[in-house]
Each structure stands twice: as structure tokens, then as C-alpha cells.
A = this chain, B = another copy of it.
Amino acid sequence: MNPELLISTRTRLTPFSSRVEAYGVKAYTVYNHMLLPAIFRSLEEDYWHLCEAVQVWDVSCQRQVEISGPDTQKLVQLMTPRDLSQAKYGQCFYAPLCDESGGMINDPIIIKHSDEHWWLSIADTDVMLWAKGLATGFGLDVKVSEADIWPLAVQGPKAEELLARIFGNEINKIGFFRSKELNYKDSRMLVARSGWSKQGGFEIYVNDEKLGGQLWDDLFDKGKDLNVGPGCPNLIERIESGLLSFGGDMGYDTTPFECGLDQYVSLEADLESLSIDALRNRQAKTRLMGIVINHQVKLKDLRLYNGVRDIGVITSNTWSPKYRAHLAFAKCDINSIAEKQEMHVISSSGKVPARITELPFNFESLGLNSLNSK
């Protein structure tokens, strides 16, 4: 049983809040000063449903930091060490934002509308304030604001079929991390093949509060035979899939390299980016690793031990009903990872052995077979 959340105007509602409530939301979290549903039936029921059917998620809290004006591309590139010079309309870029020390500020999906008009679809920090500060200080010719956009994610193996019923066959032509503007009623909305699960699906960048409610209702009307249901980012699924949460698994004190995001840093490119020098030179101190425990545990504390020494801290953990193992992410001291000593955690019933592994989890090499693959 979780404690209650006292909702106020500060923890903002979304255009879908009345639906979310009517569909029986049990728990929320707060994300970018906005309500984000966290549980509908139970974590585990929501999980199986997401893996097997299709869910509609109110992820309005993925706020769009909108940057426009002649210096837009310059500002965005200053903020991220990922080379965006070849970015084209219709692509989505997952990109760490980093400061001069190489520490991460956020990990948005970056969307280019045109040279002078970009969105950063952000995780849970006020990126707008950083962008505004930089723009002011550097005297850049840009406008930085939070756009009136409320993303609605449709996730799960049957997401594509459901969305094709709403938007037509154009849906099938959208590649992974690609987007298209599609018609809905009299409006055009950006639809991307993306989302915070590995079950497949789309994110619809809803740009009209009233149409948003209609779209929600349409999705449920047209998806009955697909067993459509309400859902939300699911702790179990995202840990199994190795999806990281900014503010939990990574933060201001970690570099992209320490979180396994090496591929999103363009070390070799000739970039005007605030963090690139630091990232070329800074030594990694920690590394985010996967932890596997053979049975379900209630952790007494979040430390990971190597023999007697505390060598890491668990940042997220869950029981995986599919792999019948307790899975965790842990921020580990980089010098202690290679030692191959026995690891353990402390559960409410004492010391429990734990295995350490690279992320994302490779369940086959870990000897874990999924329950629904026989």
C-alpha cells in the first residue's frame, strides 16, 4: 500500500486526467510538475497487459521545450554532445544533455521541425530554465518556451494495428524513431514510432486539448477487440528492457558514459557543444550495471556489496514475473566491477547473493528463460 498523493494546481492536470481517473488510475507519480499515472490494476497486471495487448498512456508530462528562432540549432547543439548537424525533419534523436563538466542535465528525445524550430521532449528536470539561461547569457536569437503539447503514447504489440484504424496506413510507413504529421479530425498531429517501452508503439504529440479527449475515446472505441486498456510506463517492463529513468538511474553527477549511453556522444565530431571537452577527458568513476537475484527480495537498503565492501547503490529494482528473477540497476564503483568477486544485497531476511551483468540484460546468457516462451 502506497501513501496518498495530495493533488494541487502545482501538480498539473492534463487534458486526459478526467479519462485517466474514470479508467481507474490507482497511483500517480509527479513528473515535470504534472501528474503521471503509475498504476492502474497492479504493477504486474499492467505489465502482462502491456506485453500482450495495447495500452493508452497519458505521458503529457513529457513536456516539449520549444526552441525557435535563427540560433535554435546552435543552442540545441551546445546542450548535447550528440552530433545533430545532419538532423532532418522526421527523425527523432534520443540525446543526453550535458553541462561543461560532462554531467547530465536530462535525456530528451529531440525533434527537429525545421532549422529554426525544434522540440526537446524532456525527462523530469526543468530543461527550459537551462536553455533560457544559456540563451540569455550567450545572447542567442531564440525563443524558449514550453509548448502546449500533451503526448499520448500507445504501446504494446497491438499498437500499430490500433493506430492504423485511427490514422490509416500511413502509420505502417513510419520507421522506428521516425515521425510523420498525420490528420486527425480537422487537425494535424505529429506521430512518432517511439515510447518508453520495448513492446512497440507510438507517441502522438497531441496539440489540442479538446481533440485529445476525443482521441482517447476513439482509441478505446476502436480497440475493444484488441483488448485496449489504460496504462503507463511500467516499472517491471522498463527494467527488463533496460530503459533508464533520469533522476533515478542517472543524474547531474553522472556522464552518459557512466550510464551506458556511449553511442549518443559524438566524441569524434567537430562540435560546438558545452560538454564535449569534458567528456573527452573525464574519467568514469561509476558505471550503471544490471543486477540479478534469483528470487524475489524486499531490499533492506539499496547498497550492493562485494565481499564486505559497499561498491554500489541500487537505483531501481523489481521482481520480474517473466524471468522469475529480481532485477535491478546499480550505480557501481568502476574499479570494483571487474573483480568478479561474489556480490550480495541485504534483504529483510539477510544476505542474498547477487550477480552483476552489463545492461541491457541478456537473459539468454544469464540462463533466464521467459515464462511465456515455454
16 A-B Cβ contacts within 8 A? A1-B4, A2-B4, A3-B5, A3-B7, A5-B30, A6-B28, A8-B29, A10-B245, A10-B246, A100-B136, A125-B129, A126-B126, A129-B133, A130-B133, A133-B133, A136-B137
Does A178 reach chain B (CB closer than 8 Å)? no
- Which residue in chain B gives the minimum CB-CB distance to A247? B10
Docked-complex contact B9 and A132, CB < 8 angstroms: no
A133-B131, A137-B137, A137-B138 given; A3·B29 CB < 8 A: no
Instruction: Note all chain B residues with C-beta closer than 8 A to A124.
Output: 10, 33
- Which residue in chain B gives the minimum CB-CB distance to A97? B129
A100-B136, A136-B133 given; A25·B5 CB < 8 A: no
CB contact list, A165-213 vs B, under 8 A: none
Docked-complex contact B245 and A8, CB < 8 angstroms: yes
Oligomer: number of copies: 2
Interface string of A16-46 (1 = CB under 8 A from B): 0000000001111110010000110000000
Docked-complex contact A33 and B133, CB < 8 angstroms: no
Docked-complex contact A26 and B2, CB < 8 angstroms: no
Interface string of A300-336 (1 = CB under 8 A from B): 0010000000000001100000000000000000000
Does A99 reach chain B (CB closer than 8 Å)? yes
Does A274 reach chain B (CB closer than 8 Å)? yes
Q: Which 6 A-B pairs have the closest CB atoms?
A: A137-B137, A133-B133, A5-B5, A30-B30, A6-B38, A4-B27
- Using C-beta atoms within 8 Å of the partner chain, give the interface range for chain A: 35 or more
- Which residue in chain B gives the minimum CB-CB distance to A329? B9
- Which residue in chain B gives the minimum CB-CB distance to A9? B248
A2 to B6, CA, bound (A): 6
Docked-complex contact B3 and A3, CB < 8 angstroms: no
A7 to B129, CA, bound (A): 26
CB contact list, A100-139 vs B, under 8 A: 100, 105, 124-127, 129-139
CB contact list, A136-152 vs B, under 8 A: 136-139, 146
- Which residue in chain B gives the minimum CB-CB distance to A137? B137
Does A294 reach chain B (CB closer than 8 Å)? no
- Which residue in chain B gives the minimum CB-CB distance to A21? B3
A125-B129, A137-B133 given; A29·B2 CB < 8 A: no
A8 to B247, CA, bound (A): 10
* Distance of A234 from chain B, by nearest CB (Å): 11
Does A11 reach chain B (CB closer than 8 Å)? yes
- Which residue in chain B gives the minimum CB-CB distance to A313? B9
A316 to B29, CA, bound (A): 21
- Which residue in chain B gives the minimum CB-CB distance to A129? B130
- Which residue in chain B gives the minimum CB-CB distance to A25? B3
Docked-complex contact B245 and A99, CB < 8 angstroms: no
- Which residue in chain B gives the minimum CB-CB distance to A106? B129
A274 to B129, CA, bound (A): 14
A2 to B8, CA, bound (A): 11
Instruction: Note all chain B residues with C-beta closer than 8 A to A131.
Output: 133
* Distance of A320 from chain B, by nearest CB (Å): 17
Given A3-B5, A33-B247, A129-B133, 16 more pairs with CB closer than 8 A: A3-B7, A5-B5, A5-B27, A5-B28, A8-B316, A9-B249, A9-B316, A10-B245, A10-B246, A33-B124, A126-B126, A129-B129, A132-B133, A133-B137, A134-B136, A135-B137
Partner of A4, one of B39, B105, B274: B39
Instruction: Note all chain B residues with C-beta closer than 8 A to A99.
Output: 132, 136
